[in-house]
Amino acid sequence: MTTEVSSLAFDSRRVRADSIFFAVDGMELDGHEFIPEAILNGAAAVVSERPSPKDFPKVWIRVPEIRRSMAEISSHYYEKPSSRIRLIGITGTNGKTTTAYLIHSILSKKDPSLLMGTIGTYCGSRRLPAIRTTPEAPEIQRLLSIAVKEGCEAGAVEVSSHALALERTYGCEFEVGVFTNLSQDHLDFHGTMQDYLQAKQKLFELAYNPGLKIAILNGDDPCSGSLEMDPSIDLVTFGFEPSNDVHPIAVETGIDGIKMDLELSGGGISLESCLVGQYNVYNIMAAVTACHALGVSRNLIREGIADLKAVPGRFERVDGKSPFSVFVDFAHTPDGLENVLRLARQMSEGRVICVFGCGGDRDISKRPKMGGVAAKLTDALILTSDNPRSESPQEILRQIETGIPEGAVYQVIEDRRSAIEMSFRIAKPGDLVLIAGKGHEIYQEFRQHQIEFSDVVVAKELHDRNFSE
């Protein structure tokens, strides 16, 4: 008897009649515990690393590595969509989202294109919500299949270190791989910076990414030199140093944006962008280099860079009535927070006021470092709750405080809305308020519940009150 598979699922709640259910032993939950529910919901087969239970009523497929097998089966089920669309994969600690948005803006000047990442997925004109930066393998392959059906010729995909380590992108054919940078993050998962870098390395391994032809690396980041490449891969570096293949000949950054002339193979290119800050110069160079590698014309690259006005939650300006400026940013690493605070200092006519916290169930060693960075680069600092998840918000705040130098002045207001409101109350004309950590997110996660919460929405509401009146 032959059964036509209707869908793939790793969540028993999403199983329907004739699905294949992948029993994944995860970090928090063991998929094997949900096999009865999957069978009840109609699963035709179960894929597992374990031997079949005695008298199991359905098909049991035993595999040596469940996550890798899930990726391979998903790719075949959706008819290898990554081989039918030219993909640029972007990995690194900071800059993935902005780089992906820039690439998407360039690619979309000619044809429908794909954007898959932290904020959401765009398949041509279709918009789908994001589950995580890089979804699980069945979802990745489903989205790639949709992109192909929507006529997307090429696309940009954010590839997180978790996705690489957990084989979510195994077997995806990224023609171009981009490495933005590496700084401390996710050590709760990877353990060491070396292991974190090794996860990023996978994007540039032909055994993992068989479609790779070109590697685009940030030559100013010392970690780029530690990434190993097959001799068949074309290597292109970008950065401020003239030794890089792509580098600025002239660059101007200011509150109105970026203007620069880039040295690019085959001749230079002049660019203008609404994005601000030196770190966005890096993101622009990464995007330009990647699209140039795909053969996109200079005119389309120039137009695509100019057309991107902003990226949600990335130094996003919140307009309002109050006589001070307000920005929301996703910065949640020491390096990311330092970059955005230095930009805030450059743009502010008065003081820099910062509201931030750290997420729970994440790398705890970065908390005091972020506290120290914020205390050093701000005039007024308010510590608050981010996404505490299963941790105590008070304990997270205490750990941030340990990095703040003795004598530094700051406030601790656990409730995030109250903290943002306090920042508005103390702001004076010409000041800049930076609300960091959550960026585009529209929720706040606690131990046993989640609430709707958007820094942008809250800031807009408070900004329109005009506290300075």
SS3 per residue for 115-163 = EECCCEEEECCEEEECCCCCCCHHHHHHHHHHHHHCCCCEEEEECCHHH
Q: Rounded to an integer, what distance in angstroms lies between the CA atom of residue 46 and that of residue 27?
A: 20
Burial class (CB in 10 A: 0-12, 13-18, 19+), 104: buried
- Write down the pLDDT at residue 152: 98
pLDDT confidence bin for 454, thresholds 50/70/90: very high
Q: What is the mean pLDDT of residues 41-49?
A: 97
- Write down the pLDDT at residue 184: 86
- Name, in order, each residue with C-beta under 8 angstroms of 72's C-beta and a sequence gap of 6 or more: 170, 171
- Write down the pLDDT at residue 271: 98
- CATH fit for domain 316-463, picks 3.30.450.20, 3.40.50.10420, 3.90.190.20, 2.40.160.60: 3.90.190.20
Amino acid, res. 268: G
- Write down the pLDDT at residue 187: 82
pLDDT confidence bin for 255, thresholds 50/70/90: confident
Does residue 469 carry a pLDDT above 60? Answer: no
Q: Which CATH superfamily is domain 7-63 in?
A: MurE/MurF, N-terminal domain (3.40.1390.10)
The pLDDT tens digits of the residues spanning 333-353 come to 999 999 999 999 999 999 999
Specify whether domain 76-307 bears CATH 3.30.70.20: no
Q: What is the mean pLDDT of residues 215-228?
A: 97
Q: Rounded to an integer, what distance in angstroms lies between the CA atom of residue 313 and that of residue 316?
A: 5
Q: Tokens 């972007």: give the residue.
A: 90
Q: What is the mean pLDDT of residues 201-216?
A: 98
State the sign of the Cα–Cα–Cα–Cα dihedral 263, 264, 270, 272. Answer: negative
SS3 342: helix
Residue with the larger pLDDT of the pair 193 and 468: 193
Mean pLDDT of the chain: 95
Q: Rounded to an integer, what distance in angstroms lies between the CA atom of residue 88 and that of residue 155?
A: 6
pLDDT confidence bin for 130, thresholds 50/70/90: confident
405 CB neighbour count, 10 Å cutoff: 9
- Write down the pLDDT at residue 197: 96
- Write down the pLDDT at residue 468: 56
Does residue 1 carry a pLDDT above 80? Answer: no
Q: Rounded to an integer, what distance in angstroms lies between the CA atom of residue 1 and that of residue 397?
A: 60
Q: What is the mean pLDDT of residues 259-272?
A: 95
Which of 346, 343, 369, 347 has the alpha carbon at shortest distance from 356?
369
pLDDT confidence bin for 159, thresholds 50/70/90: very high
Does residue 203 carry a pLDDT above 90? Answer: yes
- Write down the pLDDT at residue 27: 76
What count of Cα atoms within 13 Å lies in the side-chain half-sphere of residue 289? 33
Q: Rounded to an integer, what distance in angstroms lies between the CA atom of residue 74 and that of residue 136?
A: 10
Does residue 3 carry a pLDDT above 90? Answer: no
User: pTM (2 decimals)?
Assistant: 0.94
Q: What is the dihedral of CA 73, 75, 77, 82, to 10 degrees?
A: 180
Q: What is the mean pLDDT of residues 172-178?
A: 98
- Write down the pLDDT at residue 266: 87
Q: Tokens 């609430």: give the residue.
A: 451
For 18-41, b where at least 16 C-beta lie within 10 A, e where not — what string? ebbbbbbeeeeeebbebbeebbeb
Domains of the chain: which residue ranges? 7-63, 76-307, 316-463
- Name, in order, each residue with C-beta under 8 angstroms of 292's C-beta and a sequence gap of 6 or more: 264, 265, 298, 301
The pLDDT tens digits of the residues spanning 66-122 come to 999 999 999 999 999 999 999 999 999 999 999 999 999 999 999 999 999 999 999
- Write down the pLDDT at residue 188: 87
Which of 58, 49, 42 has the alpha carbon at shortest distance from 23?
49
